[in-house]
A and B are shown apart, each in its own frame.
Chain A
Amino acid sequence: MMHISHADLGGTTGHGPIVNEPEDERFHAGWEPRVLAVTLAMGATGLWNIDMSRAARESLPTYARLTYYEIWFEGLLKLLAAHALLADDELQAGHSLHAARELPRKLLAANVPTVLANGASTERPATTKARFKVGDAVRMFAGEVPHHTRLPRYVRGRRGVVERVHGAHVFADAHATGRGEQPHWLYTVAFDARDLWPDASPGVRVSVDAWEPYMGKA
C-alpha cells in the first residue's frame, strides 16, 4: 500500500495564525504528559524505533484534525496493535485480558536518567567515501517516495548547495520500513528561497538535512 504522509507541511497554506505560549506552559491537559511518558517507555522496549514511530503518526488519516498528543496516542495504539501487544477489548475493559508477550527490554524508573542522558546517537562509521563536499551543487530527488521519508516535498527537484557534512547516519527511510539502519552520508543542503517559492523575499536561504540517496550532482 502507498504510504501517505499527512505531516509534510513545509510551504503549504491556509493554516491560520501562530499562537505563542509562555515558556512554562508544558502541557494542556493531565493526560498529555502521560501519553508522552507511555510513548517513551514503550519506545524503550526495543520493538520499534523512532522512525517507525514517526511513520505511524504521520500516516494517520486523522492527522490534520488531531492535537499533538492525540497524534502520539493514536500512533502508539497503531504500533501496539501491529505488534499484537494490545487488543481492542483490553483498551475497552481497561484491563489486560490476554497473555502478555515477552519483550526485549523494559524501562525501569531507576534507569530513566541514564537512558535519557545517553540518548541514541544516529552516527555510524562510514563505509563509503562521501560523494559530495561543502560547496557542491546538488539536485534533490524529484519523484514520489512510496514509503516514509524525510525528504520534504518543497525541495524535491530543486537545486541546492552542500553546506555541511555530518558524517554517516542511520537512514530514516530504511529504518522506518524495517530494512535496518543502512547508514548514509548526511548533508545540510541550502537553497536560495527564490529557487523554492515564487513569492520568496530576497536574502532568505533555507536548508534541509538530507541523506546522500536524496540527491545527485546538479
Chain B
Amino acid sequence: MSIHHHDHDHEHSELSPMELRVRALETVLGEKGYIDPAALDVLIDTYQTKVGPRNGARVVARAWCDPAYKAWLLRDGSAAIASLGFQGRQGEHMVVLENTRDQHHMVVCTLCSCYPWPVLGLPPTWYKSAPYRSRAVRDPHGVLAEFGVTLPEGTSVRVWDSTAEVRYLVLPMRPEGSERLSEDELAALVTRDSMIGTGLPLLPPARAR
C-alpha cells in the first residue's frame, strides 16, 4: 500500500477526516517544537522497511543450524538475539520458547499488543484485535484450527500472556526434509506466525534427487 498517494492539487478534497486530524496534530506539535518532523520519517522507515519478521527468521535459522547458539538462545534470549544485531525497544527482555513434539507454545497479549518488535516488527492487526486476544487463552486449539494448524495427538499447548515487559519468541520445530538446506534457505521457511505459535514453518521445496 502506498503511503504517499496524494497529488498536492487535490490534497484536501481526497483526505479522510482522520488524515486531516493527524496532519493537523503533526503540524501543531512541529510548530511548537515538541517533535522533529524528520524524526517521524526515520521512525516510520525503520518499522516499514528495516525491522520485521525476517529478523526473527534469521534467529530461528541460526538456532536450527548451530546447537551452541540454540542453547545460548534458550538460556539468555536477549543476549543471543542481540549478537545478531536485533535489540532494543520492545525487545529488552527476550525469552525464547522451544516447540517440541510434546509441547507447542503460543504467545498473546490479552491486555494490549505487547510483541517482540526487534525480531518480529510491528504486530499484525489480528494480534492486536479482540478475537485473538480474547480466545488465545481460553480456546487455543480453536484458534490454531482457525490458522489451519492441527497439532499431533499428545502435544500439549502452552499459552504465554505477555502481561509485563518480557517479550516471547517461539522457536518452531525444524521441518523434516530440511537437513540439506543452508541457513538462508532455512530462514525462508520461517513464517511470522510460526514465531508467534499460531503457525508452523513452511515445508522445504521439493528437491530433485
Contacts and interface: CB of A to CB of B under 8 A. Distances in A.
Interface of A: 5, 7-13, 15-21, 23-31, 33-38, 40-42, 45, 54, 57-58, 64, 68, 70, 73, 76-77, 85-86, 90-96, 100-101, 103, 106-109, 111-113, 115-123, 150-152, 154, 164, 166, 169-170, 172, 186, 188, 190, 193, 196-197, 199-201, 203-211
B159 A23 contact: no
Interface in B61-88: 87-88
Contact of A10 (B18, B23, B53, B137): B137
A10 B28 contact: no
A166 B93 contact: yes
A109 B36 contact: yes
In order of increasing CB-CB distance, the 8 nearest A-B pairs are A10-B110, A109-B38, A209-B164, A94-B24, A100-B32, A15-B130, A37-B40, A96-B31
Contacts of A16: 130-131
5 contacts: A11-B138, A64-B130, A100-B33, A193-B137, A196-B138
Nearest to A91: B24
**B38, B155, B158, B162 pick with most chain A CB within 10 angstroms:** B158
A23 B131 CA distance: 19
Contact of A208 (B24, B143, B161): B161
Contacts of A33: 3, 44, 47-48
A62 B147 CA distance: 29
Contacts of B22: 31, 34-35, 38, 73
Given A9-B111, A10-B138, A205-B156, 6 more contacts: A25-B124, A34-B26, A91-B28, A106-B34, A188-B166, A190-B158
B136 to A, nearest CB: 8
B42 interface: yes
B5 interface: yes
A5 B110 CA distance: 12
A51 to B, nearest CB: 10
Contacts of B166: 166, 186, 188, 209
B164 A211 contact: yes
Given A17-B146, A29-B16, A207-B159, A119 B92 contact: yes
Contact of A200 (B138, B158, B163, B165): B138
Q: Find the residue from B19, B28, B143, B162 having the highest chain A CB count within 10 A.
A: B28
Contacts of A172: 164
A210 B81 CA distance: 24
A23 B28 contact: no
Contacts of B33: 100, 106
Contact of B113 (A35, A68, A90, A150): A68
B13 interface: no
Contacts of B158: 190, 204-207
A38 to B, nearest CB: 6
Interface residues of B, number: 85
- Which interface residue of A70, A92, A186, A209 has the most chain B CB atoms within 10 A? A209
B52 interface: yes
Given A36-B43, A119-B90, A209-B162, A8 B110 contact: yes
Residue of A19, A85, A115 most packed against chain B (CB within 10 A): A19
Given A85-B34, A205-B157, A10 B42 contact: no
A107 B38 CA distance: 10
A153 B13 CA distance: 46
A20 to B, nearest CB: 6
A70 to B, nearest CB: 7
A2 B48 CA distance: 38
Contacts of B140: 204
B128 A68 contact: yes
B111 A41 contact: no
B162 to A, nearest CB: 7
Contacts of A101: 32
Contacts of B133: 9-10
